[in-house]
Structure 1
Amino acid sequence: MGGFFIYLLMKQLPINSVSFLYLEQSFRKWLFILGYATTTTDTLPVHLREFFHYLEQRHITEILLVENRHVHGFISYLENRASDKTGAGLSTSSINKMITAVNAFIKYLNSTGRHFLDISPVRPAGDIKIPSILTQVEIQLLYDASFETGRIDKAIGQRDRAMLAVLYGCGLRKMEATSLNITDIDLHKALLLVRKGKGNKQWYVPIARKALEDIRVYLQEGRGWFFDQHDTGHWYNQRYGHAFKRKIQTDDEAFFVNGKGQQMKNFYQRLHLLRDKAGIQQQFSPHSLRHSIATHLLQGGMDIEEIAKFLGHSSLLSTQIYMHIQTEHNGELAT
């Protein structure tokens, strides 16, 4: 009950800054398009109100005025602040929830280019993990690096670019990309069918022009090379001294195939290779590319409803205030 009581009080905290009110709503939408649960998208912005209230009490009403010392000062304030209910100090759980909200908000600011705070606040137990989000420049570096990975055979680079087109350009989850079949892609209509989405849902994803071209080239040129490479070698029976021909079962319908002509599942290895060749320092996963395209579309001014449909989300936030974040990076997405 204590935590819920504090939650209700924070929800009623007055925020006067138009900028902070806007950021609270924007932060909520960002969490939503990244696919977090309703409880997370509802509670984190409310816990963030405590931070905004703290800033306003110190006459800071614009996010551009916030510095590292203000964030650290807020954490010290929480550790010494009395509970409105008991008069005693805040519980560790309550403090951790507010620090978690600030951590996530800093990630939002840095990822969307609103403001950059180069700090690493204390990570409390239960802190939510937000995958790394790449910039559009870094996405282009990955794309450029795919031409280096194709030196053994151009088909490898073609598959890497198709992988970027699906994971980033179409925003698919790793398992959705793994399950993709060649019949799920309609090159003429520029549509991709997600058959095995989260919650067993199905939906169509529009394919952008550049991504469509990379997918087409891989399908028509590169994919067949992997079937030609698969091993049909021999195994030896020691007891009888005979060598037997071994035929490896291929996955003829799979869109992504490995060197054995079987369904490709290890996207991490390919992305790590691209990352190293691109000279990108931060670690990231296939899901990071999904979060990256969602953030980039948001930066580009796309309505949150459209982003939600694009990503296959089944529900929307109750609020219908759309955010339009201006960014330094304009132009067509790399894939």
Structure 2
Amino acid sequence: MVADINHFIIYLREIKKTSKNTEVSYQRDLIQMASFLGKQGIMEVDKVTKTSLNSYILFLEKEGRATTTISRCLASMKAFFHYECREGLISRDPAELLKAPRVEKKAPTILTVDEVNCLLSQPNGDSPKELRDRAMLELLYATGIRVSELIHLESRDVNLTVGYITCRDEHKERMIPFGKVAKLALSAYMERGRQTLLKGQESDWLFTNCSGKPMSRQGFWKIIKYYGDKAGIQSDITPHTLRHSFAAHLLRNGADIHAVQAMLGHSDMATTQMYMNYAQKETVRRNYAGAHPRS
């Protein structure tokens, strides 16, 4: 079954032109599925049934996997078996009628402005690592980009003179402005930190780890958790927390929702509207606190 999965991944890369992150995610999910099925004595793709896939989903639930994780695994399975069926490698699609678990939408974690300021002030030294960390955190909050976009930025994507970055994916690109604080942090990193981290190597990547290699998602996740703990922030901080906070703070301060949608790269306005709802509630709360005589 592993060989079939590898052929599917090649199809995603060469025909569908999917991103590297998508390939890695699909391959990981499908290899884990194959491992589970193999322990049940199911080694060939044409031996997989809807019942065996349901057993795998139940196993994931018993393991305590999040519904979002299970839904993603199911999407990987559906794509894989649809491909196998379309290619004539199996006669029926065992995943066709499988249903994903219902995902309860959690309200995003949004930091207060004071919490953001405290977080961003943590890397305050002048070492190459702290210059890099400060630049990454400032840029993430200044632009609201995804962590995958942050770690894949190249030096050519930053225009310090005008103050904007260019984010690209396989479908489109968007230009996002940033302010003077992020500009100062980026300038300091690029002038006094980046070359030291590169250790004489050449690299297009804007941000690297301490070995001069590209920064990974896990590496940045550890960075933001470290500074969140150092700042004493009780909320569960992830790299996406600063994206949520960026959008909510802009809208609360009167930014146009269409402009925020464009900066975030949302195709659906309903996704951006979620932050508007938060901003309106926060405005009501502040108005009450400022006006009620016993607030």
The normalised TM-score by structure 2 is 0.55
Whichever residue aligns with residue 255 of structure 1, its letter is: L
- Cα distance in 2, alignment partners of residues 307 and 278 from structure 1: 28
The one of 169, 180, 184 equivalent to 2:153 is 180
- Residue in 1 aligned with 2:259? 306
Measured after TM superposition, the shift of residue 219 of structure 1 is 1.0
Measured after TM superposition, the shift of residue 316 of structure 1 is 3.5
Task: Indicate if the aligned counterparts of 2:129 and 2:210 stay in contact, CA closer than 8 A.
Answer: no
Measured after TM superposition, the shift of residue 129 of structure 1 is 3.0
- Cα distance in 2, alignment partners of residues 314 and 283 from structure 1: 27
- The gaps in structure 1 that reach 5 residues or longer are 1-123, 231-249, 329-335
The one of 196, 215, 236 equivalent to 1:225 is 196
- List structure 1 runs of 4+ shifted beyond 2 angstroms: 313-317, 322-328
- Cα distance in 1, alignment partners of residues 246 and 195 from structure 2: 29
- Cα distance in 2, alignment partners of residues 274 and 193 from structure 1: 26
Task: Indicate if the aligned counterparts of 1:156 and 1:222 stay in contact, CA closer than 8 A.
Answer: yes
- Residue in 2 aligned with 1:75? none
The one of 210, 215, 227 equivalent to 1:264 is 215
Measured after TM superposition, the shift of residue 125 of structure 1 is 5.5
Matched, 1:136 2:110: no
- Residue in 2 aligned with 1:146? 123
- The gaps in structure 2 that reach 5 residues or longer are 1-100, 287-295
The one of 119, 140, 161 equivalent to 1:167 is 140
Whichever residue aligns with residue 217 of structure 1, its letter is: A
- Residue in 2 aligned with 1:215? 186
- Residue in 1 aligned with 2:238? 285
Deviations 1:54-94 (A, max 9, x none): xxxxxxxxxxxxxxxxxxxxxxxxxxxxxxxxxxxxxxxxx
- Cα distance in 1, alignment partners of residues 249 and 146 from structure 2: 17
- Cα distance in 2, alignment partners of residues 278 and 162 from structure 1: 17
Whichever residue aligns with residue 176 of structure 2, its letter is: V
Measured after TM superposition, the shift of residue 313 of structure 1 is 2.2
- Residue in 2 aligned with 1:126? 103
Task: Indicate if the aligned counterparts of 1:256 and 1:263 stay in contact, CA closer than 8 A.
Answer: yes
User: Given the superposition, is the C-alpha separation of residues 226 and 309 from structure 1 closer, same or farther in structure 2, using an over 3 Å criterion?
Assistant: same
Identity of aligned residues (%): 34
Matched, 1:201 2:154: no
User: Given the superposition, is the C-alpha separation of residues 129 and 200 from structure 1 closer, same or farther in structure 2, using an over 3 Å criterion?
Assistant: farther
- Residue in 1 aligned with 2:4? none
RMSD: 2.6
Task: Indicate if the aligned counterparts of 2:146 and 2:240 stay in contact, CA closer than 8 A.
Answer: yes
Whichever residue aligns with residue 135 of structure 1, its letter is: T
Whichever residue aligns with residue 211 of structure 2, its letter is: K
The normalised TM-score by structure 1 is 0.49
Measured after TM superposition, the shift of residue 306 of structure 1 is 1.2
Task: Indicate if the aligned counterparts of 1:131 and 1:284 stay in contact, CA closer than 8 A.
Answer: no
Whichever residue aligns with residue 129 of structure 1, its letter is: K
- Cα distance in 2, alignment partners of residues 306 and 137 from structure 1: 24
Measured after TM superposition, the shift of residue 130 of structure 1 is 3.6
Task: Indicate if the aligned counterparts of 2:153 and 2:207 stay in contact, CA closer than 8 A.
Answer: yes
Task: Indicate if the aligned counterparts of 1:195 and 1:201 stay in contact, CA closer than 8 A.
Answer: yes
- Residue in 2 aligned with 1:91? none
Structure (1/2) with the larger helix percentage: 2
Matched, 1:157 2:123: no
Whichever residue aligns with residue 306 of structure 1, its letter is: A
- Cα distance in 2, alignment partners of residues 205 and 165 from structure 1: 14
Whichever residue aligns with residue 207 of structure 2, its letter is: F
- Cα distance in 2, alignment partners of residues 214 and 131 from structure 1: 27
Measured after TM superposition, the shift of residue 126 of structure 1 is 2.5
SS of the residue corresponding to residue 165 of structure 2 reads strand
Measured after TM superposition, the shift of residue 179 of structure 1 is 0.7
Where relative contact order (Cα < 8 A, 6+ residues apart) is larger, the structure is 1
- Cα distance in 2, alignment partners of residues 213 and 296 from structure 1: 21
User: Given the superposition, is the C-alpha separation of residues 270 and 187 from structure 1 closer, same or farther in structure 2, using an over 3 Å criterion?
Assistant: same
